[in-house]
Amino acid sequence: MLVKTFQAGEMSEALRMVKAEMGLDAMILSSKKARRGGILGYFSKPYFEVTAALEPRPAQRSNPYREEPQPVQERELSTREEFQNSMLGPLAREVRELKLRLEALTRRDAELAQQAVAPAPEPQQELAQQSPRVFAKEELEEIKKLLYNAVAGNKEKQSARPVSFPMASLAEEPQPEQPELTRQTIVQAVRGEQPLLDMLAEELRGEELGSQTVELLLEQLRAPAEDGACLDELRGLLAEAVAGMVKCSGSLRMKKTGPRIMALVGPTGVGKTTTIAKLAAMHALNRGVSVAMITTDNFRVGAVEQLKTYAKIMDLPLEVASSGVELNAALAKHSDKDLILIDTAGRSPKDSERIDELRGYLECTPGIEAYLCLSATTRSYELDEVIATFGVLPISRLLFTKLDESRKFGCIVETYLKHKLPLSYLSTGQKVPEDLEVATPRKIASLVVKESA
């Protein structure tokens, strides 16, 4: 261990000396302040003394079991060889050979055409009588076989050796017929738009869109992809296609002949009470609509108190109804309002008895519009079960909540396509009323189709 003492007029200067000479690994053993010089203890100057130690690093011994790093040139050569042996290497060679072959074919056709016009000697008469189309047909058959192997990804033929192009012979034995290549497949192989469509398909599946929906959307992109559209253009077209699939009801419109009555129903825990408060604040505070609130949720602890707090803050009337008769009385009391919002107790999709009871509430007065609240964090098949169970109610709209807690939104599109219920509102958080917005096809498309992968 190396131990050394440093002296300086300031402590910071002494530490800098330690760092400069012994490095950052030095360990401070001691430090003190002393005085030196002067006469009989007078006129002495203070100084700082720091003692530091440094543990020398042991010499590194080579590990006989560790492979030595390859030189940069060898690594680059290895990487290049790996690329040549990969699927892209043989395909690049095939394209290069194809280009050379096509040039040779063009030159030979031109020569044969000249020979057909000029008089030819007897030995070449038979060759001159052959039409250039015969050679062109045989060469095109070889090109078709090559493209088929390239598109089908025949790795065994690609990794064995570069593809050669033997001269076609009229006496050659007939080869087994290859599957017919369509123009679309050949164009996709040459232009490279198939990987773009595959990439978009993978993104849509990642949003939990069904296979039929994905195929339907991609079908609308094939023509632009064949025309050479880039990825951003395809994403824009894809967003338009998604927007064209869904239907939204738009914001609430008030009636001229009476109040519009809106009831929120749905499973427990989807945020119906908070959404009621958001709707009330949106229309009463922002749009100047006269609003009244009614709650029938007598089961959940604190549900009435929570809505009372919101009503007090917004200075809106709130009624509590525990039966159909009380609900009718509350509706009649506020018949002069423009909008009446009804909060209902959450029902389990498996509790059919409670849902039938809720059905009695909603059917007691005509004109009540039932909005089914669904969480965006719920899986598609679970949403189907919820809609099937609550389907006994007069559901007219869907309202999705908890978008801020979800990362995938394909379930919204799939739910609409299966049940054809218009989308009304989207709840994106807990703030009242900021985190509630009217659902639009463009908004749904922006959730499903991200700007970049």
The pLDDT tens digits for 105-146 are 777 777 777 766 665 555 444 444 444 444 455 555 666 666
C-alpha closest to that of 352 among 389, 391, 393, 394: 389
Query: Quick one: angle between helices 122-129 and 88-117, nearest 10?
Result: 120
Question: What does the alpha-carbon distance between residue 400 and residue 409 come to, in Å, rounded to a whole number?
Answer: 10
**Residue where a domain stops, chosen among 181, 215, 235:** 181
| pLDDT tens digits for range 270-311 | 999 999 999 999 999 888 999 999 998 776 666 788 888 989
Question: What does the alpha-carbon distance between residue 207 and residue 409 come to, in Å, rounded to a whole number?
Answer: 6
| pLDDT tens digits for range 42-66 | 667 788 888 888 877 665 555 554 5
Residue 97 phi/psi, 5° resolution? -65, -40
| pLDDT tens digits for range 329-385 | 999 999 999 999 999 888 887 777 788 888 887 887 788 999 999 999 999 899 999
Residue type at 321 in one-letter notation: A
Q: Which residue reads 């992109």 in tokens?
A: 221
In Å, how far are 146, 154, 158, 219 from 87, measured between CA atoms? 14, 9, 7, 28
The answer to the question of residue 207 being in a domain is yes
Residues 130 and 231 in one domain: no
Residue type at 43 in one-letter notation: F
Q: In the chain, what's the furthest Cα-to-Cα distance?
A: 132
36 — pLDDT class (breaks 50, 70, 90): confident
- CATH of residue 328's domain is 3.40.50.300
427 — pLDDT class (breaks 50, 70, 90): very high
81 — pLDDT class (breaks 50, 70, 90): low
The answer to the question of residue 281 being in a domain is yes
Mean of the pLDDT values across residues 171-178?
45
The answer to the question of residue 252 being in a domain is no
Residues 315 and 378 in one domain: yes
32 — pLDDT class (breaks 50, 70, 90): confident
Question: What does the alpha-carbon distance between residue 430 and residue 278 come to, in Å, rounded to a whole number?
Answer: 9
Q: Which residue reads 């040139």 in tokens?
A: 73
Mean of the pLDDT values across residues 196-219?
91
Residues 94 and 209 in one domain: no
What pLDDT sits at residue 356? 82
Residues 138 and 197 in one domain: no
Question: What does the alpha-carbon distance between residue 225 and residue 233 come to, in Å, rounded to a whole number?
Answer: 9
Residues 304 and 444 in one domain: yes
Question: What does the alpha-carbon distance between residue 283 and residue 274 come to, in Å, rounded to a whole number?
Answer: 15
What pLDDT sits at residue 72? 47
The answer to the question of residue 64 being in a domain is no
Question: What does the alpha-carbon distance between residue 228 and residue 72 come to, in Å, rounded to a whole number?
Answer: 39
The answer to the question of residue 69 being in a domain is no
C-alpha closest to that of 246 among 450, 424, 427, 453: 424
| Dihedral-angle region of residue 451 (phi above 0 means left; psi in -120 to 50 means alpha; beta otherwise) | alpha
Residues 296 and 412 in one domain: yes
Residues 36 and 147 in one domain: no
Going by the DSSP 8-state scheme, the letter that residue 364 receives in this structure is T
Q: Lowest mean pLDDT: which of 155-159, 256-260, 363-367, 402-406?
A: 155-159
**Model confidence at 69: pLDDT above 70:** no
**Model confidence at 35: pLDDT above 60:** yes
C-alpha closest to that of 128 among 105, 111, 147, 107: 111
Residues 281 and 325 in one domain: yes
Q: Which residue reads 């002393």 in tokens?
A: 34
| pLDDT tens digits for range 216-231 | 999 999 999 888 888 8
Long-range CB contacts for residues 285-290, cutoff 8 Å, separation at least 24: 285/314, 285/433, 286/433, 289/254, 289/338, 289/339, 290/336, 290/337, 290/338, 290/339
Q: Lowest mean pLDDT: which of 156-165, 189-198, 301-310, 411-420?
A: 156-165
**Model confidence at 174: pLDDT above 60:** no
Number of domains in the chain: 4
The answer to the question of residue 413 being in a domain is yes
Note down the domain range covering 50: 2-54
The pair of structure tokens assigned to 353 is: 């008895």
Residues 380 and 432 in one domain: yes
The answer to the question of residue 74 being in a domain is no
Residues 212 and 137 in one domain: no
Q: Which residue reads 């991609």 in tokens?
A: 218
The answer to the question of residue 372 being in a domain is yes
What mean pLDDT is reported for the chain?
A: 77
**Model confidence at 96: pLDDT above 90:** no
Residues 117 and 136 in one domain: yes
Q: Which residue reads 């290497």 in tokens?
A: 89
Residues 425 and 353 in one domain: yes
In Å, how far are 45, 62, 210, 232, 236 from 56, measured between CA atoms? 35, 18, 64, 58, 63
Residue type at 437 in one-letter notation: E
**Model confidence at 316: pLDDT above 50:** yes
158 — pLDDT class (breaks 50, 70, 90): very low
| pLDDT tens digits for range 394-412 | 899 999 999 999 999 999 9
